[in-house]
């Protein structure tokens, strides 16, 4: 049966002028994932990345470190939602917090309202629409792998959460709880068999050493 490894990008540059760029630690995390894939003898027949810079750079660094061909396709269906814009909409005229802990609290509240339908952010899809987009991308990757194929998708925490929440039938609060713990460089394993698409493992990060462990 085909298998897809959903890989969350390395740490981005939270608080910097340009968020969509890997930090030095994020680049190291990306290489760590690649070394782990090689050590586990994971075969990648097809690699796909979202269109965001942090996703594409993670794919390149990871595949290089794994000693695999560095060619990968780009599919913007795996892009992340606008988490900074979402947080700003619940802050009204106040500034979005710059500390990671305070920002997470604001984002959690905004996410639960967005997922439940209580908040319809301007310029953003509904949570259901966002999930449908990511799911369609996943289905296409799985269908293209064929029996026994193995793929990697380099994406973000929200996209991974949307896929897992759909498979597990989670309510809004459960989605937020899942989203909160997705680790940079974590690997989530999805398979497709006779019974349909299934979640095999979520957020595996045993390969990430403690000093490299980050959630944002």
In-domain check, residue 133: yes
Domain that holds residue 41: 20-81+125-208
CB 173 within 8 A of CB 113: no
**Model confidence over 130-156: pLDDT tens digits?**
999 999 999 999 999 988 899 999 999
- Separation of alpha carbons 70 and 77, rounded Å: 20
| 95 DSSP assignment | P
Cβ atoms within 10 Å of 147's Cβ, excluding its own = 8
Confidence at 199, pLDDT banded by 50, 70, 90: very high
Query: Tens digits of per-residue pLDDT, 27-38?
Result: 999 999 999 999
The count of domains in the chain is 1
Q: What's the pTM value of the predicted model, to 2 decimals? A: 0.94
Provide the CATH number for the domain around residue 140. Answer: 3.40.50.1240
Token look-up 């792998």 returns 145
pLDDT digits (tens, 9 = 90+) for 178-193: 999 999 999 999 999 8
């Amino acid at each position: 049966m085909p298998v897809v490894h959903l890989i969350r990008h390395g740490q981005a540059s939270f608080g910097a002028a340009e968020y969509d760029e890997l930090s030095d630690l994020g680049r190291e995390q990306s290489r760590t994932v690649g070394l782990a894939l090689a050590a586990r003898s994971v075969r990648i027949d097809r690699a796909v990345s979202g269109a965001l810079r942090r996703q594409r750079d993670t794919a390149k660094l990871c595949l290089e470190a794994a000693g695999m061909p560095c060619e990968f396709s780009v599919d913007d269906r795996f892009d992340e939602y606008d988490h900074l814009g979402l947080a700003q909409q619940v802050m009204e005229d106040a500034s979005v917090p710059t500390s990671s802990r305070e920002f997470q609290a604001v984002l959690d509240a905004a996410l639960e309202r967005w997922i439940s339908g209580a908040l319809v952010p301007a310029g953003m899809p509904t949570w259901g629409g966002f999930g449908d987009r990511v799911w369609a991308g996943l289905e296409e990757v799985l269908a293209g792998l064929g029996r026994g194929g193995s793929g990697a998708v380099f994406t973000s925490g929200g996209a991974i959460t949307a896929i897992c929440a759909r498979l597990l039938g989670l309510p809004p609060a459960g989605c937020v709880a899942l989203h909160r713990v997705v680790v940079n460089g974590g690997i989530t394993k999805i398979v497709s068999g006779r019974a349909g698409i299934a979640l095999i493992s979520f957020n595996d990060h045993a390969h990430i050493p403690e000093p490299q462990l980050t959630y944002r």
